[in-house]
Each structure stands twice: as C-alpha cells, then as structure tokens.
Amino acid sequence: MKAGEMSRRQFLKGSALAGSAAALGGLTPAKVMGANDRINLGLIGAGNMGTGHLKSLVGRSETDNIRVVAVCDVYQKRLTRAVGICHGGGYLDYRRLLDRKDIDAVVIATPDHWHAKMAIDAMEAGKHVYLEKPMTLWSRLDHAIEVRNAVGRLNKVLQVGPQATSRDGVWRAHDAIKAGRIGKVTWAQGGYNRNSRVSAYDGPPFEVDPAAGPQAAGEDYVDWEMWLGWKFGLAPKIPYNPYHFFRFRKYWAYSGGVATDLLYHKLAPLLLAIAGPDGEYPRRVSAGGGLYVEKNTQDGGEIADTYLTTLDYASEYSIFLESAIANSAQFPDRIYGKYGTMDLEGDPTLRFDGDFAPEFREKNDGYTEVRLAEKKGRDMEGNFIDVMRGNGTLYCNAALGAATMVGIGLGVEAYRRGKTVSWDAQQEKAEKEG
C-alpha cells in the first residue's frame, strides 16, 4: 500500500453500513443543523467549476444562511481570485482548510484523481461533503466503494453533483416506472454531445497560461507536486506539464474524458429513474469509439472524441450511452418498456407502444399518452444545504454516486482494453471477460 492511502479493509472495518449501500439513502447526519444555524463552508478547487460553485454559494449566503469562510487551490492566481470573491481564508494545501474547526462542510471541485482522498479526509475531519462528479477517478473504482462506505461509517452527508438528478421529472419518472406505467423496462439511452471550432477541451476555460508553473513566483506559482498527488499514490510523478495541468480532462491519469465529464450526468438520472435513489451496479459493460477528429499533436491528449458504451444490469435491462465532442446533434434521453416509451426531455412523456395500448391504458387512467408536468425545486447546492439541516432526501447520495461511477469507470476500462468488463458484485471489483 502506498503512503497516504488507506486500504479497502481499513475503510470497511468498523462500518456498520459497509456493503449496505441501500441504507445510505435514508442516512441522517449525526449533527443536524437548524434553520437558524449558519453553515460555514470551505471550497477545495477554484478552477472553472469551483469558481462557479463559489459565486453561487456567495450569492445565496443570506437566503440559505450560509457563508464560505475558506478556499483552497494549488494555483496562486486562482486562489487569489477565489479569496476576492468570498473574502475568506486562502490555502494552497487543502489539509490546512480541513484543520479549521469552524467549517461544517466542503465543496470539492478538483481534478478527478483527488476526489476520493479529499472526500474521505474531509469526512474524517468532521465535514459534510459536496463532491463534484465524477465521484472518483475512473480507474480507481475501489475508491468509489471506499467513499460510499466511509459515508455510512462516519455518518456524514455526501452529495455527488450530476445536475439532472435534481429534476423533479426524473423522480416522477421513477414513480411511474415503479408503478409499471410503461411495463417492464428493457433498455434506456442517453447522450451528451458538443462541437466547436476549437475542441471543447482546448478552448475556454482550458487555455494554457505559459507563465504559470512550479518555477514561477507570486500569482503564477503552481504547487505541481501537490496537484499530482504522487506522494499519496494518486498519479504518476512526472515533470511539470502545463497541458496536463490546464487540460487535465484529456489525460487518463486524471480523467476519463467525455465518459466521466459528460456521461456521468446521463447515467445517474437514468439509474435514478429505473432503479431508484440508490441506483444499481452493472453486470457487464462494453465500449467503443475513438479519437477520430480532435487530434491535438501539441498537447498529446489521449481521450476519445467519440465514445459509445453499453451497460447490462442484473435486473434485466440495458443502458446505451454516447458522447461526442465533434458533433453537437443530441441523442435523446429515453426509457423503453414493454407497454410504452418514456421520453425524459422536458416534461417526461409516456406513450404506448405497438400492440400494447390496452395494457398502457390500464396503467395510465385510460390514456395512451401522458405528460408528467415537472415542478421546479431546489438545485443541487440547495438540496445539500437542506439535507444537512435534516430536510429532504439527497438527489445523488453516495450509493447512487458509487453505482454510477462503477458503470462509467467500467466503460472507460472496456474502451481502453478493447474487452467487455464484468463487475463482481460479491467482491465489488472488475473482472475482464474472455
């Protein structure tokens, strides 16, 4: 075991909920904060996504009775910008932020390879956690299981951030599927596509600042050693590479590319709608695609620009997902049942299929088409704040987050191996087929 890592056995030991992901959906934190108790927050990672969270949290300070009291980033320029937004303390080392006893919760918006360690360190320090997607690095699915189990062991609120799980329509879709309104679900599909003259992972906000680096002083300083996390076994030790730092989503060591950046947003709500708030782990996953167009020879990016994956589940349904950054035509989010089909775009709409109008009518008050009017509710941050105060249910709890991460991570592994990959539900680890 590498320095700074905790073994899976250590995480499982002492956890009354270890291996019982279903129990996490109803988890009540040991410390429930009242409406009159101000919640103090810290932000770890002040890049594009983190800065977006920071501005949002500062903007809702009065209405939600919260305050961002500290921020952390390894790049001094980003740290200075973040301090200017929240007027709190600033740290280059996230561990100094976690040492603060006045912080109740943290938002983690760092590159993927840091997610698990920071989330567990934060919970060990007594903090609740809002964890940006993906839950962990694609290649460390053991970390996803460890984070899930740590939530139960430490009795903390942990929200993972796929935005569509906040949609009232997705939750209503689950109720409709559970009631059998489209019959037995057999498969579902989702897609997330982009296209631009400059590749989605080369243009804003991924521009390289040539002045920045570990050799620089003042605002241009980057703590490269900490960013890599090689001392904790999080990524290989390499010399400073500005492309890796500014365009981390293009490299397998820190990201799964479009799969973990975009399709995590699609799989989580589909699992929520079909399987429920705790999701389901796949039985086997295959994937294909390639780097067909966006070949930047300067930065040596590795990820696919066209990616397709199929996930099979023990409950006897499959999910097909696709993502491309070389064509922006969108693939509709849809769930297929024996009696009817459900479109999830906008207000979820149910329609009968084929010869099964009678069965559909029986389940849908005599109608052959039904629209589930979607109500506007709290966003992901607001939901996280509410649950810390003992109100409501997390939109994406640790169980759903881990199930989604396993599906997405196995897909990336299958793509890279060129082989179908199976999930051993008993051992909770991947196994290659064939």
Among all chains, which residue has been given the structure tokens 């905790």? 6
Instruction: Quote the pLDDT of residue 54.
Output: 98
Which segments in the chain show pLDDT lower than 50?
1-23
Q: Which long-range contacts (CB under 8 A, 24 or more apart) does 90-96 make?
A: 92/223, 92/226, 93/223, 93/226, 94/44, 94/118, 94/121, 95/121, 96/72
**Could you give the angle at which helices 380-388 and 48-59 cross, rounded to 10 degrees?**
60
Among all chains, which residue has been given the structure tokens 């782990």? 281
The pTM (predicted TM-score) of the whole model is 0.93
Question: What domains are there in the chain, each with its CATH number?
Answer: 8-164+383-396 (3.40.50.720), 166-199+255-377+406-432 (3.30.360.10)
Q: Which of 92, 93, 89 is nearest to 102 (CA)?
A: 89
Q: How far apart are CA 393 and CA 391, in angstroms?
A: 7
Ramachandran assignment for 218, one of left (phi > 0), alpha (psi -120 to 50 degrees), beta (any other): left
Instruction: Quote the pLDDT of residue 29.
Output: 72
318 backbone dihedrals φ, ψ, rounded to 5°: -130, 155
178 backbone dihedrals φ, ψ, rounded to 5°: -60, -35
Instruction: Quote the pLDDT of residue 190.
Output: 98
> Within 13 Å and on the Cβ side, how many CA atoms surround 283?
8
Ramachandran assignment for 221, one of left (phi > 0), alpha (psi -120 to 50 degrees), beta (any other): beta
DSSP 58-112: HHTHHHHTEEEEEEE-SBHHHHHHHHHHH--EEESSHHHHHT-TT--EEEE-S-G
Instruction: Quote the pLDDT of residue 433.
Output: 63
